[in-house]
Amino acid sequence: MHTLPKGYSLATVKAGFRKEQRDDLALLVSDTPAALAGVFTTNIFKAAPVLVGMETVRTRQNARAVVINSGRANACTGDEGIAKCRATLDMVARATGLQAHDILPMSTGVIGEQLRLDLWANAVPGLARKLGAADLEAFARAIMTTDAFPKFAATELKLGGGTVRLCGAAKGAGMICPDMATMLAVLFCDAAVDARRWREIFRRAADLTFNRVSVDGDTSTNDTLIGLANGASGVAIREDEFPLLEDAVHDLLGKIAYMLVQDGEGATKVLHIRVRGAASPEDAERVARTVGHSPLVKTAMYGRDPNWGRIAAAVGRSGAAFRAENVHIRLCGVQLLKNGQPVGVDVDAVLAGPLEQRDIHIEIELGAGDAEYLFLASDLGHDYISCNADYRS
């Protein structure tokens, strides 16, 4: 069992939002106001909880709680969906003694279905009574939809003033392409840090982790990443210690983002696509994302087929500026393309073993500059189709 950061309590309850008979409503509460950071989906069809959460982050520096339901996304539900989202916050506020504006909402599940407020009304009092009874794993399980396993991690950071604890939990296996990216995540810690610095740290860490992963290239309507820092440890971050805190946040978010790709619906591989030598950071990202989103590349990796021509074709259509004769491609450490020409290695013999591994490394050198980019993507197999074809049935 992971030790939670000081000053936080967790609760989960079975509300009946989902067909499965398990907990599907989760609550995180901080004893005191916590510095608030939030990163949200770029999808134009933002879900009601995203719109409400964005308003809270825009207008407030602190928050006290996060409430998350699975089963219904409350997306594409119009003004009624927003009203119902706010009604759920009012319910939680009354049951916990908090203010509604101190609570961040998150929802995941089927798009286009309204929340069942009767189920919420029945569940929330019990949820409040159970505060402190759930651990981090139970919290992560309660927010799952098609996830194969709960995603959570924790770490400690020893600083001059004492020890700071950080915990994180997330859900997501399909409709994953955070571009802030169904994906929900929360990170909470007990460090004392002002909201401005906390938001700067959180945004940079999100850009280097959650914004560099993809399962299927679909950016959800609901993607939300919330960070809370309540200072309950009593450890104030000194100026020279901010880089240490940022490294810890980056590391924790990176571990959880990896889990999202690892648990991609039907996925068997995590593709680590590293592009070097690009003319600009934007070009490096274009190449990495084009390769990572290519169905031909993804299915080849699923089939353990060292068809590097699919990688080269994706690089070539990415829109990045480079000369073909300068490109090098390595797969699992084996060079297959050098200066735009095949190396002449027996790929089936050399790569048969490496392609059986969970982690597949694809390295691309463009020879056009010094920019680079690392992107994580899943492969694409039969079970992805089965899972998503049957999602509502």
Cite the active site residues: 182
Which H helix or E strand runs over 104?
A: strand 103-107
Residue 90 has a CB neighbour count (10 Å cut-off) of 13
Please enumerate in sequence order all residues whose Cβ is within 8 A of that of 105, keeping only pairs 6 or more positions apart, or say none: 48, 49, 52, 53, 66, 67, 68, 85, 88, 89
CB 190 within 8 A of CB 236: no
What residues contact 54, with CB distance under 8 A and at least 6 apart?
38, 40, 46
C-alpha 90/C-alpha 84 separation (Å) is 10
Q: Return the residue matching tokens 């004492």.
A: 162
Coil, strand or helix: which one is 268?
coil
Residue with tokens 């699992």: 332
Beta bridge partners of 91: none
Per the CB < 8 A criterion, the answer to whether 203 and 40 are in contact is no
Residue 33 φ then ψ, to 5°: -55, 135
Tell me if residue 235 falls in helix, strand or coil. Answer: coil
Structure tokens at 156: 């400690």
Going by C-alpha positions, the residue among 94, 93, 114 that lies closest to residue 102 is: 93
Distance CA 179, CA 174 (A): 14
Q: How far apart are CA 107 and CA 353, in angstroms?
A: 41
Using alpha carbons only, give the angle 105, 111, 112 rounded to the nearest 5 degrees. Answer: 100
The residue assigned the tokens 């390769």 is 291
Question: What gap in Å lies between CA 376 and CA 369, rounded to an integer?
Answer: 22
Residue 198 host element (H or E)? helix 195-208
Name every residue whose Cβ is closer than 8 Å to that of residue 112 and which is 6 or more positions away in sequence.
Answer: 73, 75, 76, 77
Longest dimension (CA), the chain: 69
